[in-house]
């Protein structure tokens, strides 16, 4: 049973917003582009594994969670976590193509693509074992005695593990189901009451992604971010405010609520607060009363009054 099902990455959507608002010659354009590619591939892999888990009928009760961000010795994010009568199971998902070789001393993963490109990647087995340690610390902090298992799952059918490692269980996606079924051979150590307690602790302890605003995360000056209301039809930045609607000079679409996505973009990209002046500057407005109406209709909390008013997203 999925308690926290698969959801697309808010971080990915925000990076795509950011890329639209960076000039092609901006020094961070390539960095953001590469990060989008990596995150998108990861999301695709996690969705593939989610479909495997979603359609699986195990002979025992389990609770499954996608993308838990927890805190112990440090913050750590789990792709998938299953709570079962036999213990906790972490699935660390990698969506990689080509020939994959685990090496030792130092531990790393070598990826050889058909194009001839060779990438050296931090070892997923070491990463998984660190997550197992962090999760054990988390459970200790909450007085939860539970055994922890885990596996690295390669989601793509175009991945070939030529050289494996004995530091962790390595699986292809079609091996996830038989891997999990094997746990029923173990003695049951977690009661249904324990599982309920663990579920509640995990949900209460999960924290949202904290790398916003992205301008700070990528060390980009907010002034470098291209301003203007984005057209939801053609993506043009710079819709014009006309009477009670927004007009796109590119595709000639009128959209009275076009500002909503742009206000959201501001918080994801620029700052966690906004003033009337900042709203006018980002949406390319000249009328402060119009900006006031937009802020009042954007599901924000307001502190201060008159020119000292500051708005934040409702948490």
Q: Which residue has the tokens 């992604």?
A: 209
What's the pLDDT band for 148 if we cut at 50, 70, 90? very high
Residue 147 has pLDDT above 90, yes or no: yes
Specify the CATH architecture of the domain 227-313: Orthogonal Bundle (1.10)
Residue 210 has pLDDT above 90, yes or no: no
Q: At what angle do helices 259-269 and 276-283 cross, to 10 degrees?
A: 110
Residue 313 has pLDDT above 80, yes or no: yes
Alpha carbons 215 and 68: distance in angstroms, whole number: 24
84-93, 161-170, 187-196, 210-219: least confident range: 210-219
Whole-model pTM over 0.75: yes
Alpha carbons 155 and 5: distance in angstroms, whole number: 17
What's the pLDDT band for 25 if we cut at 50, 70, 90? very high
Report in angstroms the alpha-carbon separations of 51 from 5, 66, 113, 221: 10, 12, 26, 40
110 burial (CB, 10 Å; 0-12 / 13-18 / 19+) is middle
What percentage of the chain exceeds 70 in pLDDT?
Answer: 99
Sequence ranges of the domains in the chain = 2-205, 227-313
What's the pLDDT band for 270 if we cut at 50, 70, 90? very high
Look up residue 28 and give its two tokens.
């961070």
Per-residue pLDDT tens for 158-191? 999 999 999 999 999 999 999 999 999 999 999 9
In 10 A of CB 177, how many CB atoms?
A: 15
Average pLDDT over residues 185-198: 96
Q: What is the pLDDT of residue 315?
A: 65
Alpha carbons 274 and 240: distance in angstroms, whole number: 21
Alpha carbons 219 and 38: distance in angstroms, whole number: 19
Alpha carbons 168 and 164: distance in angstroms, whole number: 9
Per-residue pLDDT tens for 29-79? 999 999 999 999 999 999 999 999 998 889 899 999 999 999 999 999 999
Q: What is the pLDDT of residue 308?
A: 85
Residue 208 has pLDDT above 80, yes or no: no
Q: What is the pLDDT of residue 306?
A: 81
């Amino acid at each position: 049973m999925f308690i926290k099902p698969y959801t697309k990455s808010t971080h990915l959507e925000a990076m795509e917003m950011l890329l639209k608002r960076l000039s092609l010659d901006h020094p961070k354009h390539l960095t953001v582009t590469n990060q989008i590619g990596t995150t998108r591939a990861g999301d695709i892999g996690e969705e593939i594994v989610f479909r495997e888990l979603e359609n699986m009928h195990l002979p025992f009760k389990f609770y499954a969670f996608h993308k838990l961000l927890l805190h112990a010795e440090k913050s750590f994010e789990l792709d998938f976590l299953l709570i079962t009568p036999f213990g906790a199971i972490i699935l660390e998902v990698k969506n990689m193509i080509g020939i994959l070789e685990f090496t030792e001393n130092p531990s790393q993963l070598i990826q050889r693509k058909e194009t001839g490109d060779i990438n050296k990647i931090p070892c997923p087995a070491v990463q998984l074992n660190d997550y197992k340690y962090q999760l054990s610390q988390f459970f200790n902090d909450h007085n939860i005695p539970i055994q922890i298992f885990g596996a690295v799952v390669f989601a793509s059918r175009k991945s070939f593990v030529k050289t494996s490692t004995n530091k962790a269980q390595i699986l292809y996606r079609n091996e996830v189901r038989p891997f999990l079924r094997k746990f029923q051979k173990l003695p049951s150590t977690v009661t249904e009451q324990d599982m309920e307690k663990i579920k509640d602790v995990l949900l209460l302890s999960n924290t949202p992604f904290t790398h916003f605003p992205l301008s700070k995360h990528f060390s980009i000056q907010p002034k470098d971010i291209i301003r203007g209301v984005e057209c939801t039809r053609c993506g043009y930045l710079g819709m014009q405010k006309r009477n009670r609607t927004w007009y796109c000079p590119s595709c000639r679409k009128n959209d009275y609520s076009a500002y909503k996505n742009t206000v959201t973009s501001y918080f994801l990209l620029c700052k966690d607060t906004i003033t009337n002046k900042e709203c006018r500057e980002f949406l390319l407005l000249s009328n402060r009363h119009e900006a006031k109406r937009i802020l009042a209709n954007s599901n924000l909390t307001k502190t201060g009054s008159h020119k000292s008013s500051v708005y934040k997203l409702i948490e």
